[in-house]
Chains A and B, each alone.
Chain A
Amino acid sequence: MTRLVELMPFIVLLPLLAGPVCALLPGRRLPWLLAVAATAGAFIIAATTLAGVMDGTTLRYAFGNWPPPIGIEYRVDAANALVALLITGVATILLPWAAPTVDAEVPERQGVFYALFLIAMAGLLGITLTGDVFNVFVFLEISSLATYGLIAHGRDRRALLAAFRYLIMGTVGATFLLIGIAFLYILTGSLNMVDLAERLPGVSDSRALQVALGFIVVGLAIKLALFPLHHWLPNAYTYAPTLITAFLAATATKVALYVMLRVVFDVFGPAYSFAALPLASALMVLAIAGMFAGSWLAILQENLKRMLAYSSVAQVGYMVLGVSLVSVAGLGAAFLHLFNHGLMKAALFASVGIVAYQAGSVRIQDLQGIGRQMPWTLTAFALAGLSLIGVPPTAGFISKWVLISAALDAGQAWLVVLILITSLMALVYIARVVETAWLRPRPADAPAVNEAAWWLLGPVWLLVAANFYFGLDTRLTLGGATAAAEALAGGALGVGR
């Protein structure tokens, strides 16, 4: 047990080292096997790490034995261990599942594709685990560059344009982040998060610090796809290969949210952040706007992947709304939804991926009556949709419950109304798909479609089962989210209810 915990840095190093090797491996199966092995290894280590930090301890590892703040250190508490578990867990389930879809969508040079996937994942994990703000930027660029390449692998030629748009928006975001970090370095001469947190109160009356916070928050808001900075997301998710869409939707925005929370609550401290800038009200307004705009646009979409992408914009709104309450309960709700939303979106995008693989189309119009022909796939979609809407006994219900409790706890009962209205909007766009797939007859001229093979269905159903499991047994999710919220802000905000 303790030995495994000491392996903590390998959560990042395994995929990072396996990536380049993957690129050199010939053929289709070898790179895939290596990718699966590396992800599964990282997942096991992440799980033991989370188990080790649930009680509030913090694991530290100084790279190259250079003591911080000079060297780079990894600091893991419940907050980032939970995010790391989500990333590696989703990847471990999706990779074995995705092999046939990758064969169909990326027929050549799969070694490079899997290498990029591993590097993108390593980047996300690096952002999550590191305790150094410049290291955050480096890993952000690593994961972003790999992601641009991955999105460009989409079969549709519009994938290139989508990747290019994401590249521009992502670069702007990363640059903002870098400028903010530079200001911090100029002011304090340090890049280590803990060290920064100690030194920043000394310069808290500086205008430059305010500017630094603004740049960092805006830069991360782009990566987070916080409304109205979400424009890159729908195209990227729509045209990327199936595996990439499912993986990014479940993880990428979550990591950006995590970093934002880490910086705002841990480095700057809530007392400074929410006083220096009107962050609470700004985040709340943008979150609500995102919840409504995302849900509304999702209702209007004709393309299933695009619909789910806009739904993600709305769901990011829920998480940010929890943050904007500036309470431990609200942060806990944000972390919980971060994890649960990863589960539901992975299940939804994966079942849509099967539809794309079997039927060759993800236009809602083309899916009339497909429920009879692919009952298992569409049932999985419908059940994961229930989780998205927030019907008990799913993980989504627990998310809604905790978020509503947090809003009531903060005395903001009017938010409850908005949360529930947008939940019902989710009902509209999920029900529309279910109705088209099950209750309309298959047009006579529609191509015949077969149900997918069990190795495609198995992982999707595993994700669906996870949605229900975590709706009933919340020890891991709610316990982890509460521990995460307390690790981030328990001291500064006081332990919540």
Chain B
Amino acid sequence: MTPLTAVAIPMIGAVAIALAAHRPRLRDGLCFATPLPLFAAVVMLTSAYVVAGDTRAVTLLEIMPGLEIALAVQPLGLTFALLAATLYIVATPYALGYMKHGGYGNLARFMACYAIALGAAMGIAFAENLLTLYLFYEILSISTYPLVAHTGTDKARSGARTYLALLLVTSVGLMLPAMVAIWMLTGTLAFRPEGIMAGRVDPALGALLLVVLAYGIGKAALMPFHRWLPAAMVAPTPVSALLHAVAVVKAGVFSMLTVALFIFGLDYLRGLATQPLMLYIAVFTMIAASLVALHQDNLKARLAYSTVSQLAYIVTGALLATELSALGGGLHMLMHGFGKITLFFCAGAIYIASGINTVSGMDGLARRMPLTMLAFFVGALCVIGLPPSGGFWSKWYLVSGAYSAGHYLVVGAFVLSTLLNIAYLLPPVTRAFLKPPPDDRASGVNEAPALCLIPLLLTAAGTLVLFVLADPAYHLLTGALS
């Protein structure tokens, strides 16, 4: 078995789901069935890598001499693939439950695109070179466009237009030329542990390429190219949860980490003139997005800006260019994925069960939806980075990385941003638990359907488990750096 299996399973699943469009039961069965072999495949690839160090490298095609579409297992990608494959299992019942309960149409198209997006994410995770990564990166952008525009209303269409335009403008306009330039200068696009630019590309040009690539990877949502993420919130919540909190945005920061580690190389990156500039743009994004999130009353918009801010943590980790901070970035990719998908699951469950989509409307909500709000609390703890959730460890390593690199201003920014996280994530919880509900609301427990409730409880539990299980993830990731 090769990484190709992991890429192919969701793609085949997508075709099967699309063909079963007119047979609802078969379609649902296929939707449920697709994530399982995918998860099994990723687990088998992981065990083969961990036990025997087997990368299972496979070259699919040689497009031009020296330019290959090739896949291989590497630790950072495994982390991303495991994250996406695991959450895909819980997101599928959630998506089906949400879409049916919410009365959305075109389920087959929706679930097929969902599966294609997951296949593309696997391709990104297992890419062996920058061209392969770019190929799947674009497939991911395009396959998620119908999902964002799913409802077909004017608002959804214009949101989807912003989404696709920003993602394609950055990737075609910046990432592609940067990639061609790197290829012409170095003669390769392969990911190497020490990077490929050192000694081959003049640092002045490398400095320019860093700026172009940092913005070219638009999915990492560095300001001012972050607008696509709030725009994508018009999508049904299952899309926001799995794709715009996990697969798509993590593909962005994963690409940033990969490029920083394996294309630039950390030593080369540290020597570039624009490294401090991009670092402070990432820090600025982190703080500014938190401040914007503070003022959003719409729950999903608040979570979206929170994601922009959290992605900037990981980009900061990559741009600090120390092993410890890159490790923290990799861990945060994992931890934030679990935390944020829980929050989005909760937001969707609240909307489905009670029609509430604003923070100000959440007063006393915990009396009606105690389990959901408890899960929301746990997810919030993880995103803030407090124990006993996995988010604690990733922030720990990010801050230590900044500290050991001597960037005390960045350490300060991490602390400030954490305080801001508390300020915008805990009010929904305190409102729900401590404030009395408005008088006109019916009392009694009224949770979302089980298909929605169980997944969000599972992911909330996952964030707590990760607090204990951070050690294996840490060991897996250190392999990426040695």
Contact = CB atoms under 8 A, between A and B. Distances in A.
B64 A472 contact: no
Contacts of A440: 152
B390 to A, nearest CB: 35
A401 interface: yes
B181 interface: yes
A41 interface: no
Contact of B138 (A391, A423, A439): A391
Interface size class of B (residues with CB under 8 A): 20 to 34
A435 B161 contact: yes
B61 interface: yes
Given A424-B168, A440-B152, A435 B157 contact: yes
Nearest to A404: B180
Contacts of B146: 438
Given A391-B142, A404-B180, A441 B152 contact: yes
Contacts of B434: none
Given A438-B146, A474-B63, A408 B180 contact: yes
Given A393-B135, A431-B164, A474-B63, A424 B173 contact: yes
Contacts of B149: 435, 439
A427 B168 contact: yes
Interface in A463-488: 471-474, 478
A386 B143 CA distance: 12
B180 A405 contact: yes
Contacts of B138: 391-392
B169 interface: yes
A350 interface: no
A421 B142 CA distance: 19
Interface string B166-201: 001100110011001101100000000000000000
B134 interface: yes
A439 B152 CA distance: 5
B222 interface: no
For the complex, would chain B's binding face be called helix, strand, loop or mixed by DSSP majority? helix
A416 interface: yes
Q: Choose among A392, A398, A401, A409 the residue with the greatest number of B CB atoms under 10 Å from its CB.
A: A392
B69 A472 contact: yes
A174 to B, nearest CB: 39
A423 B176 CA distance: 12
Interface string A411-439: 00000110011011001000100010011
Contacts of A471: 63
A409 B69 contact: no
Interface string A386-405: 10011111000010110011
Interface residues of A, number: 31
A427 B165 CA distance: 8
A439 B64 CA distance: 37
B180 A420 contact: no
Nearest to A398: B63
For the complex, would chain A's binding face be called helix, strand, loop or mixed by DSSP majority? helix
Contacts of A408: 180-181, 184
Nearest to B137: A392
Nearest to A401: B180
B61 A420 contact: no
Contacts of A439: 149, 152, 156-157, 160
Interface string B5-41: 0000000000000000000000000000000000000
Contact of A420 (B156, B177, B181): B177
A421 B131 CA distance: 21
Nearest to B156: A439
B19 to A, nearest CB: 12
Contacts of B134: 392
A420 B173 contact: yes
B61 A472 contact: yes
B115 to A, nearest CB: 16
Contacts of B165: 427
Nearest to B21: A375
Nearest to A473: B61
B135 A474 contact: no
Contact of B176 (A398, A400, A427, A472): A400
Contact of A386 (B69, B142, B157, B183): B142
Interface in B49-101: 61, 63-64, 69
Contacts of A391: 138, 142, 168, 172
B387 to A, nearest CB: 43
Contacts of B164: 431
A472 B63 contact: yes
Contacts of A401: 64, 176, 180
Q: Sorted from nearest, which 4 A-B pairs have the closest CB atoms? A: A392-B135, A439-B152, A404-B180, A420-B173
7 contacts: A400-B176, A408-B181, A420-B173, A421-B173, A424-B172, A435-B149, A471-B63
